[in-house]
Copies of this chain bind each other. A is one copy, B any other.
Protein backbone atom coordinates (compact mmCIF):
# COMPACT_ATOMS: atom_id res chain seq x y z
CA UNK A 1 0.00 0.00 0.00
CA UNK A 2 1.81 3.04 -1.28
CA UNK A 3 -0.37 5.51 0.66
CA UNK A 4 0.47 3.74 3.92
CA UNK A 5 4.19 3.60 3.15
CA UNK A 6 4.29 7.27 2.28
CA UNK A 7 2.44 8.22 5.43
CA UNK A 8 4.74 6.17 7.65
CA UNK A 9 7.82 7.67 6.01
CA UNK A 10 6.40 11.18 6.34
CA UNK A 11 4.78 11.08 9.79
CA UNK A 12 6.19 8.06 11.63
CA UNK A 13 8.63 8.79 14.44
CA UNK A 14 11.31 6.44 15.71
CA UNK A 15 11.56 6.31 19.50
CA UNK A 16 14.24 4.62 21.61
CA UNK A 17 13.75 0.87 22.03
CA UNK A 18 12.75 0.18 18.45
CA UNK A 19 9.34 1.82 18.81
CA UNK A 20 7.66 3.31 15.75
CA UNK A 21 5.26 6.04 16.79
CA UNK A 22 2.37 6.45 14.36
CA UNK A 23 -0.17 8.03 16.64
CA UNK A 24 -0.73 11.00 14.34
CA UNK A 25 -2.68 8.86 11.86
CA UNK A 26 -3.19 5.36 13.21
CA UNK A 27 -3.52 4.79 16.93
CA UNK A 28 -4.52 8.01 18.67
CA UNK A 29 -5.40 10.44 15.93
CA UNK A 30 -6.76 8.45 12.97
CA UNK A 31 -7.09 9.32 9.30
CA UNK A 32 -10.52 7.91 8.35
CA UNK A 33 -9.75 7.75 4.63
CA UNK A 34 -6.56 5.79 5.25
CA UNK A 35 -8.40 3.49 7.69
CA UNK A 36 -11.08 2.87 5.05
CA UNK A 37 -8.48 2.10 2.39
CA UNK A 38 -6.64 -0.23 4.77
CA UNK A 39 -9.84 -2.09 5.61
CA UNK A 40 -10.69 -2.40 1.93
CA UNK A 41 -7.22 -3.75 1.19
CA UNK A 42 -7.59 -6.43 3.89
CA UNK A 43 -10.99 -7.37 2.46
CA UNK A 44 -9.47 -7.71 -1.01
CA UNK A 45 -6.55 -9.84 0.17
CA UNK A 46 -8.83 -12.22 2.09
CA UNK A 47 -11.70 -12.14 -0.41
CA UNK A 48 -11.30 -15.86 -1.17
CA UNK A 49 -10.81 -16.96 2.43
CA UNK A 50 -14.49 -17.53 3.26
CA UNK A 51 -14.24 -15.24 6.27
CA UNK A 52 -17.32 -15.29 8.51
CA UNK A 53 -16.11 -12.86 11.16
CA UNK A 54 -13.38 -10.33 11.92
CA UNK A 55 -11.67 -10.37 15.32
CA UNK A 56 -9.47 -7.58 16.62
CA UNK A 57 -8.46 -6.16 19.99
CA UNK A 58 -9.28 -2.80 21.50
CA UNK A 59 -8.49 0.00 20.86
CA UNK A 60 -6.37 0.68 17.79
CA UNK A 61 -7.44 -2.44 15.90
CA UNK A 62 -11.07 -1.33 15.82
CA UNK A 63 -10.91 1.23 13.01
CA UNK A 64 -9.21 -0.99 10.41
CA UNK A 65 -11.28 -3.99 11.52
CA UNK A 66 -14.64 -2.25 11.17
CA UNK A 67 -13.84 -1.34 7.56
CA UNK A 68 -12.54 -4.84 6.80
CA UNK A 69 -15.79 -6.24 8.18
CA UNK A 70 -17.84 -3.75 6.20
CA UNK A 71 -16.22 -4.70 2.89
CA UNK A 72 -16.25 -8.43 3.69
CA UNK A 73 -19.87 -8.24 4.81
CA UNK A 74 -19.27 -9.92 8.18
CA UNK A 75 -19.59 -8.91 11.85
CA UNK A 76 -16.60 -7.58 13.78
CA UNK A 77 -15.70 -8.42 17.36
CA UNK A 78 -13.11 -6.68 19.46
CA UNK A 79 -11.47 -8.57 22.29
CA UNK A 80 -11.26 -6.61 25.51
CA UNK A 81 -8.12 -6.06 27.53
CA UNK A 82 -8.28 -6.81 31.23
CA UNK A 83 -5.42 -6.37 33.63
CA UNK A 84 -6.87 -8.86 36.04
CA UNK A 85 -6.27 -12.54 35.61
CA UNK A 86 -9.75 -13.15 37.03
CA UNK A 87 -12.01 -13.55 34.05
CA UNK A 88 -15.62 -14.67 34.19
CA UNK A 89 -16.50 -18.12 32.88
CA UNK A 90 -18.56 -16.98 29.93
CA UNK A 91 -15.54 -15.63 28.03
CA UNK A 92 -12.57 -17.08 26.21
CA UNK A 93 -9.35 -15.59 27.57
CA UNK A 94 -5.69 -15.57 26.55
CA UNK A 95 -2.73 -13.68 27.92
CA UNK A 96 -0.68 -11.29 25.80
CA UNK A 97 2.46 -9.58 27.00
CA UNK A 98 3.03 -6.03 25.80
CA UNK A 99 6.73 -5.42 25.26
CA UNK A 100 6.02 -1.75 24.56
CA UNK A 101 4.16 -1.16 27.80
CA UNK A 102 5.90 -3.82 29.85
CA UNK A 103 2.73 -5.43 31.16
CA UNK A 104 0.46 -8.41 30.61
CA UNK A 105 -3.13 -8.22 29.46
CA UNK A 106 -5.81 -10.84 29.39
CA UNK A 107 -7.61 -10.60 26.06
CA UNK A 108 -11.19 -11.75 26.46
CA UNK A 109 -14.07 -12.46 24.11
CA UNK A 110 -17.60 -13.48 25.07
CA UNK A 111 -18.12 -17.09 24.04
CA UNK A 112 -21.28 -16.27 22.14
CA UNK A 113 -19.37 -14.14 19.63
CA UNK A 114 -17.18 -16.86 18.15
CA UNK A 115 -19.03 -20.00 17.09
CA UNK A 116 -17.42 -23.40 16.44
CA UNK A 117 -16.54 -23.88 12.80
CA UNK A 118 -16.42 -20.19 11.94
CA UNK A 119 -13.61 -18.79 9.80
CA UNK A 120 -12.21 -15.81 11.64
CA UNK A 121 -9.94 -13.13 10.22
CA UNK A 122 -7.64 -11.49 12.77
CA UNK A 123 -6.91 -7.80 12.21
CA UNK A 124 -4.45 -5.70 14.22
CA UNK A 125 -2.42 -2.55 13.79
CA UNK A 126 1.05 -3.87 14.68
CA UNK A 127 2.81 -7.22 14.52
CA UNK A 128 6.11 -7.36 16.40
CA UNK A 129 6.58 -10.21 18.89
CA UNK A 130 3.23 -11.69 17.89
CA UNK A 131 1.80 -11.63 21.39
CA UNK A 132 -1.55 -9.97 20.62
CA UNK A 133 -2.12 -11.88 17.37
CA UNK A 134 -1.14 -15.14 19.06
CA UNK A 135 -3.63 -14.50 21.87
CA UNK A 136 -6.39 -13.73 19.37
CA UNK A 137 -5.64 -17.00 17.54
CA UNK A 138 -5.85 -18.75 20.91
CA UNK A 139 -9.36 -17.32 21.45
CA UNK A 140 -10.34 -18.68 18.02
CA UNK A 141 -8.87 -22.10 18.86
CA UNK A 142 -10.69 -22.19 22.18
CA UNK A 143 -13.96 -21.59 20.32
CA UNK A 144 -13.33 -24.50 17.96
CA UNK A 145 -13.22 -22.03 15.08
CA UNK A 146 -10.60 -21.61 12.36
CA UNK A 147 -8.23 -18.68 11.87
CA UNK A 148 -8.74 -17.75 8.22
CA UNK A 149 -5.73 -15.45 8.31
CA UNK A 150 -4.09 -12.53 10.04
CA UNK A 151 -4.02 -9.04 8.57
CA UNK A 152 -1.72 -6.46 10.14
CA UNK A 153 -1.12 -2.90 9.08
CA UNK A 154 2.55 -2.71 10.06
CA UNK A 155 4.84 -5.68 10.64
CA UNK A 156 8.20 -5.21 12.29
CA UNK A 157 10.11 -7.59 10.06
CA UNK A 158 13.12 -7.59 12.37
CA UNK A 159 11.09 -9.05 15.22
CA UNK A 160 10.03 -12.69 15.37
CA UNK A 161 6.23 -12.50 15.53
CA UNK A 162 5.61 -12.85 11.81
CA UNK A 163 7.92 -15.85 11.42
CA UNK A 164 6.40 -17.51 14.46
CA UNK A 165 2.84 -17.19 13.15
CA UNK A 166 3.74 -18.21 9.59
CA UNK A 167 5.74 -21.11 10.99
CA UNK A 168 2.56 -22.27 12.70
CA UNK A 169 0.91 -22.47 9.28
CA UNK A 170 -1.05 -19.24 9.50
CA UNK A 171 -1.44 -16.89 6.57
CA UNK A 172 -0.18 -13.46 7.59
CA UNK A 173 -0.70 -10.43 5.34
CA UNK A 174 1.16 -7.26 6.31
CA UNK A 175 0.41 -4.07 4.45
CA UNK A 176 3.82 -2.65 5.32
CA UNK A 177 6.95 -4.34 6.65
CA UNK A 178 9.54 -2.38 8.59
CA UNK A 179 13.03 -3.66 7.83
CA UNK A 180 14.95 -1.38 10.13
CA UNK A 181 14.41 1.56 12.50
CA UNK A 182 17.63 3.54 12.57
CA UNK A 183 18.92 5.27 15.69
CA UNK A 184 19.08 8.42 13.57
CA UNK A 185 15.32 8.19 13.00
CA UNK A 186 15.41 6.65 9.53
CA UNK A 187 12.77 4.09 8.63
CA UNK A 188 13.52 1.35 6.09
CA UNK A 189 10.38 -0.42 4.91
CA UNK A 190 8.72 -2.15 2.00
A77–B113 CB distance below 8 A? no
Q: Name 18 extra pairs, CB < 8 A, besides A28-B110, A58-B59.
A: A23-B110, A28-B113, A29-B76, A29-B113, A30-B69, A30-B78, A32-B66, A32-B74, A32-B75, A32-B76, A35-B66, A58-B58, A59-B59, A59-B78, A62-B63, A63-B66, A63-B76, A66-B66
A31 within 8 A of B: yes
Known: A59-B58, A59-B59, A110-B23. A30 touches B66 (CB 8 A): yes
A5 within 8 A of B: no
Known: A23-B110, A78-B59. A70 touches B33 (CB 8 A): yes
A75–B29 CB distance below 8 A? yes
- Which chain B residue shows the least CB distance to A77? B29
A126 CA to B69 CA, complexed, in Å: 23
Cβ of A77 to closest chain B Cβ, rounded Å: 5
Copy number in the complex reads 2
User: What are 11 A-B pairs at a CB distance below 8 A?
Assistant: A23-B110, A28-B77, A29-B75, A30-B76, A30-B77, A30-B78, A32-B76, A58-B58, A62-B62, A63-B76, A66-B67
